Structure 1
């Protein structure tokens, strides 16, 4: 997650989906009896929540699909 400011992560639903996926994967790993992988996936979920939800600052510039505003 070196490029957290990538335009792909601009929509909130994508950032939430990444966090939920990592958390669900952690639960899956713990439920199948592999606590090491569950801990790693849980750590990724916590890190993703920190980067994508708590500290996220959208990149500057126009959003995808919108033309840049013209100055008069």
Structure 2
């Protein structure tokens, strides 16, 4: 019996473009600035929570789990032939 499981496509957050650390820092810093803007200037709880969740997800994706996800995406990638 053959395994017909299709390899997963690499996710947007594990693209090679995000590999340099400075790009990930810029993206997370922009989201952090947006979060501070919503909480301190606008006092908008809805968008403040949305941006806070995005900030937590960005930190998790880009700094805590990035190397593992990138390694797995490269391992599952199909060679072009």
Q: Structure 2 length normalisation: TM-score?
A: 0.65
Give the RMSD, CA atoms, in angstroms: 1.4
Residue ranges of structure 2 left out of the alignment (5+ in a row): 1-10, 75-81
RCO comparison, higher one (Cα < 8 Å, 6+): 2
Q: What count of residue pairs does the alignment treat as equivalent?
A: 59
User: Where is the helix percentage greater, Structure 1 or Structure 2?
Assistant: 2
Q: Structure 1 length normalisation: TM-score?
A: 0.73
- Structure 1 segments of 4+ aligned residues over 3 angstroms from their partners: none
Instruction: Work out which of the two has the higher radius of gyration on C-alpha atoms and give 1 or 2.
Output: 2
Residue ranges of structure 1 left out of the alignment (5+ in a row): 61-72
